[in-house]
Structure formats: C-alpha cells, structure tokens
A and B are shown apart, each in its own frame.
Chain A
C-alpha cells in the first residue's frame, strides 16, 4: 500500500465510521440505469436549472428591483438622460457596464428557453411512451407542476427588466387577472398595489422569481429525482428486459462520467448561444411606459400559445348585474389553459380508468402500440402549434407576405378542425405501423434482392428478422375492451348506467388494435405456408 492509498483509506474510514456511508454508497453507486437518448431530455432540463441558478445569482449582484424613477447616465448613448425605472437602468448597467454582464444575462435567458424546451420535450417523451403509468402517477403530477411553475417563473423573469416589451406582457397579465369574473379588479389591485403599473409589482415579482419559485423548483425537482431513484427508471421493451428488472449500466462509473460530460456540453451550448446570439435586447426595446408599445410584441415561446389564443378570440363581452365578463380574455387566458393543464394532470388516471389497467409498468410503450394515447398527444400538440403560430401571426404576415386577418381566420378554424384531424390521422398511422410490424414478424424483412424463378416470375426475397427484433415487436400486451356490465350477479341493474356505457365505449376505442403477430402464426408460416 502506497502512502497515498493509506491516506485515502484513512479518510474514507474516518467518514465511514461516523456516517456508515460505505454500505449506502456501495449499494447506490451500482444502481443500474437504462440507456437511451430520450432519457437525457430531463437531464437537459436539470442542467439548465443549475445554469439558471448560477447565472441568476450573478445577475442579482447588480439588479435593482425597484420601480423608482431614475435618469439614465450609463454607457449606452441612445438612452442617455432618459427617465426610466431603476430596474431597467440596472439591467442596462449589467448589460453594458458590468464585466461579462451581458454574456451572463444572455446565458441566463438562453438557459431559461432551453429549460422550458427540454421540459416540454421530456414531457412529450414521458407521455408518448406511457412512462406516467402506475406507479409513476405522482411523478407525472410533479412534472405537470414543474412545467406550470416554469411558465410562471419564465414570465416573471423576463418581466423584471421593466422594458417596453415585458411591460406590455405585464399589462396583458393584468388584463387576464381583471378578466376573472367579479373579483378580477380586486385581485389586479392587490397584485399591483393600486392602479397599473404602480410601484410595487417589480419588487414583488422579484421576490417570487429569485426566492419562492426557485425554492419550489428545488423541492419539486428533488422529489422528482428521488422518485425516479426509488421507483427505478423505465426502460424500452427488448430481449431480456422485463417488468421486474432494469437493463443498463451502473451509475458508477458509466453514468457519473456520462452525466458529468453531458452537463459540460449543456453548459457549453448555452454559453455558446449566450456568446454569439443576442437575446432580449432590452436596450432596443426602451424603458416601459404605459403609453408606448411596439409592433410585434410577443412573449417567449412557452407563453406564445396563450398569446395566440388571445389573439384569435373574437370580441365577446357580457354585462351582467353591473359586472363586465370579458369572454375574449377569460376563455383563452384562463378557461382553456385551465382545462388543458387539468386534463394533462389527470391523464394517467383517466387512461387507467378507461383501459381498466391497474398493473405496474416499468417497460415503456412504443407509441404505435397505444394508438389512442399517441393520437391524443398529436391532437394536443396540433392545438398548441396552431395557437403558437397565431401568436406570431404578425411576423408571419410580414415575412411571408400574408394577411394577418387570413392567418387569424385560419387559426380560428384550424383550432377546431386540425386537432381532431390530427387525432384521426395519427391513430390510422399507428394502426398501419402495427400492421407493418406484424408483416415484418410474419414475413420478414424486404431485402431488395429480386430473384427470377424458373418459370419467369420475379419475387423479392424476404429475410426473417432476428429473434431479438421479433421479441421487441411482439412482447407488448394489447389492451382489451372493458365490457359494459349493466347488471350485477343477481340480475339487479347497476347504477351509473350512462357512465358505464361511456366508459365501455371509450375502452373499446382504446382497444382498437391491429392484431399482433402470435407465435402460432409465426410457426405456421415457418412450416411452409408462405
């Protein structure tokens, strides 16, 4: 034993004798994780969050969250002697007079966009592969909480500089608050400490942005990861992979190295973007005053769909008992997002109710094998994309030489027509892919080799696929439709007949599948019935 090893051993022993960490580490460092690129989307979100914490801390050293009026006297000439809030002036100071300040601001903002983008990509992966099923419903709920908080946190963050663009966003947020029937005006008054814009809103959202919400994020992310650790990671189906095992690599050394390296890559790409691409150039926007606005005022993309919904809603208002109900803001700003996010949160429970599937799942679904869920996902995505596109309708109009009115009407019609269409098309594609799988298992792979038979007929040679691939294509359990049980064992009619009937119908739709290839069929074909 060398000198170094003796010292290291001594330190390790010292720690172990006091904490008992050796046994715990020994067990947990060997923990196995399955390997797939799509499992790294959540990692991107986690690393972006770390970048956000670090760069955000840097920004707080100079940012002054105050709406008190100051006269700018910094290095940016086009705003010299302009009256502005201290928040805006300090953001200019960070951008132009703090060493590395603009780079940090841009890294912070790019990391925020990457954070939201990777959360959404991660959410889509979890949804389309059915990773939210039992026992992971709670983690799905936490995930929905995280994406919701992410939208709020992002909005509060880009509102802090008090520039013309973000002030416009705050104005719209105030309008949405006011649209809440009856109490809306009061809530807006409480939030802004009086009439808009007031002097308290920026300090308040600053506290939320740097203290409360990051704290909530840390707590939720910790639980999110602990649950992944405790429940173990899901894996894609394949030979040797069952509901009872995890096939992959140990944390130490494989994932320690991979995760560490990947963190470096995420940080690198964020820093690269921050260094070469301008983001949120607040000095061009100018300071916020309620009397000004810029053409093409858009929020960041994760709010863009909301903006698009508001932009497409027709001017509907009701005056009722001395109250104005602004449906044009209430529906797109609160009701539709409320339905969407509640539906998303409840989806694991709804699916389990419809399919009657109460089993534990650790093997992921291939999206084609669950046509209804995949179609529903495509439908929601289409809804979001139509809204998002309408959120940028003015830029699309100018850059593609179109009429903004036509784009709005396309969106108004498309928001109702395209999502159901996407559902039907996706479901058909899934069923076709299932048939293609069946074909592949039973008839093998097309080799592209054409052979002329002695009597002149041309045939393409098919090659059987590997047993591993055949297993992957056939191992899944196809859902069965739940019957509509109308009476119990004694012939007494069950209550809730309508609910049961509805469930039975949805269950039947959910169970619509192309018949999977079975072993018998495969054997029969091998026996020369080709």
Chain B
C-alpha cells in the first residue's frame, strides 16, 4: 500500500472534513502570524553634533520637516509645532507615534524610531522655538505615594472613560480614529498626553485637572491594569458584547452539542 493510498482511505471518513478545515485554518493562521511578526528594520544612526538643539534641528530637518515644514511651521498635512513644547515631542516621538508610518487616520503607537537621546534633542529643538509644556520626568511622578485611587477613578470616569472605556481599554472615535488602550502605557506618557492633548485628545490643563489629580488618575489606571481578574476571565473588559458572544458560542453551543449527543444515544 503506497503512502498516498494509506492516507487516501480516510478521505471519506466522517471526520475528514472537520480535520481538514482545522488543519487549513491552523496553517493559514500560523503563516500569517509568522509573516506579521517579522521585524521591520528601521534604524537611524545618531548624528554627532555639538549642542542638543543643533542636533535636534538636524534630526528635525531630516525626519520631520517634510511634513511639519523646515522651521516646524506646519503644512497642509501636519500641524505647526511652534509652542507645542518638549512634552508633546517626548510623547509623540517617545511612543513611536512620530514619525508616522503612513498618512492614516491617526498616528499609532509603535516601536520608537529615535532613541532617548535623539528624542531629547528633538524636544529641546522644538522647545527652543516657543515656550510650551516641558518633558515630564517619570522618576518624579510618585503617583503611588501622592495619588488617590478612588478619586482617580471618579476623575477618570468623568473625563476619560467616554473615549478610553470604563476600564481604560480604548474605544472608537469617528472616521477610523480611536482612543488607544491605556494598558501598559508608562505613567510619564499618560501625564504628557493629558497636558499636550495628542491626536483627538483635549488638553487637560493644570486648572482643569490639578497635577495631584493627574497623579490620582494615573494611580487608578495602574490599579485597573494590575487588578486581578476578580470574576474569572475578563473577556476583554469591553462590556456585554463579548459576554453575549460567549453565552451563544460556549454556553448555548455546548448545550446544543450535548442535546445532539443525548438524542443520538437514545437510538
């Protein structure tokens, strides 16, 4: 018996169809995940300059000016950066949002293109154009000591949950824009986002939300992130949609399976 016919004799087996479908799905799925996991090379060598601002200006001219203009004055496709401050640059470049990968609805978080030194240089250059909020030092954000979780939760639900979802999982905005998830975001970037209002986000000045309240918000977000799954698997903390899916697929699905089995056994 040749190997082909040994396999082939199972081709009319009642499980042949399902097994083939599962095998095909697994093959496609793993091929896709391997393909999408391949790293994209994107490295820049630091240009050696004397002062930070001069270095920043150089990087800006090379990497940013094609959209933001040679003097950061902005253009039809990108806003002016005069007066946005070092905090804005630190957030946008430090989280990899800038430079943008493509001209899509909004800049996505990705692996940063510039290293910390280059980002600081860029921030120094943009800050030199006009005064604006300066970079937040993460080491000085002692939110664990100075924040109040419950107060942070109240503030979050009042000011942030409408876009970022009740558990900071992110949510949809119009025209393909979105409020990103805040899970795993470094405290300093959360703070900088609040004071600079990146993308569609409003600016929460120190008059709207005081620095102490900002720390409380960060403390609450971290508490939500680190909260154990109290009721069991969380199904994404996005509300009843995934719960309904689970009720139909796992709940009723398995009950129907058992009902079919019970009715078959009776024969």
Contacts and interface: CB of A to CB of B under 8 A. Distances in A.
Interface of A: 35-38, 40-41, 44, 77-82, 95-96, 102, 106, 109-110, 113-114, 117-118, 121, 164-165, 249, 254, 258, 261-262, 265-266, 269-270, 273-281, 283-286, 291-301, 304, 391-395, 397-398, 401-406, 448
Contacts of A275: 232
B192 to A, nearest CB: 21
A308 B239 CA distance: 15
13 contacts: A37-B256, A40-B259, A78-B224, A82-B150, A117-B252, A269-B255, A273-B250, A276-B232, A278-B235, A398-B170, A398-B172, A404-B175, A448-B12
Interface string B156-197: 011001111111001111111011000000000000000000
Contacts of B248: 117, 301
Interface in B215-264: 220, 223-224, 227, 229-235, 237-241, 243-244, 246-248, 250-252, 254-256, 258-260, 262-264
B154 interface: yes
Interface of B: 12, 105, 149-150, 153-154, 157-158, 161-167, 170-176, 178-179, 220, 223-224, 227, 229-235, 237-241, 243-244, 246-248, 250-252, 254-256, 258-260, 262-264, 266
Nearest to A261: B262
A279 B171 contact: no
Contact of B232 (A37, A277, A398): A277
Contacts of B105: 403
A277 B233 contact: yes
A286 B12 contact: no
B230 A266 contact: no
Given A78-B153, A262-B259, A300-B243, A294 B166 contact: yes
Contacts of A402: 176
A78 B176 contact: no
B104 to A, nearest CB: 9
A380 to B, nearest CB: 17
Contacts of B149: 77-78, 80
B266 A258 contact: yes
Contact of A279 (B170, B224, B243, B263): B243
Contacts of A269: 251, 254-255
A274 to B, nearest CB: 8
A289 B170 CA distance: 21
Nearest to A44: B255
**Max chain A C-beta neighbours (<10 A), residue from B229, B233, B259:** B259
Contacts of B244: 113, 300-301, 304
Contacts of B224: 78, 284
B255 A118 contact: yes
Given A77-B150, A277-B231, A281-B230, 18 more contacts: A35-B263, A37-B260, A77-B149, A96-B230, A165-B166, A165-B239, A273-B246, A276-B233, A277-B246, A278-B229, A278-B233, A278-B234, A284-B227, A295-B172, A298-B239, A301-B244, A397-B172, A405-B176
Contacts of A262: 258-259, 262
Contacts of B178: 397-398
B150 A280 contact: no
B266 A296 contact: no
B256 A41 contact: yes
A283 B252 contact: no
A71 to B, nearest CB: 10
Nearest to A80: B150
Contacts of A273: 246-247, 250-251
A292 B161 contact: yes
9 closest cross-chain pairs (CB), A and B: A295-B171, A301-B244, A278-B231, A113-B247, A403-B176, A294-B166, A394-B172, A397-B172, A40-B259
Nearest to B152: A78
A81 B176 CA distance: 38
A296 B231 contact: no
Given A277-B235, A284-B167, A405 B174 contact: yes
Contacts of A397: 172, 176, 178
Contacts of A36: 263
Contacts of B231: 95, 102, 106, 277-279, 281
A295 B164 contact: yes
B240 A301 contact: yes
B150 A106 contact: no
A395 B241 contact: yes
Nearest to B179: A295
B252 A393 contact: no
Given A300-B243, A405-B175, A294 B233 contact: no
Interface centre among B178, B252, B260 (most CB of A within 10 A): B252
A295 B240 contact: no
Nearest to A102: B231
A270 B262 CA distance: 18
Among B149, B238, B244, B252, chain A packs the most CB atoms within 10 A around the CB of B244
Given A82-B154, A277-B232, A295-B162, A121 B172 contact: no
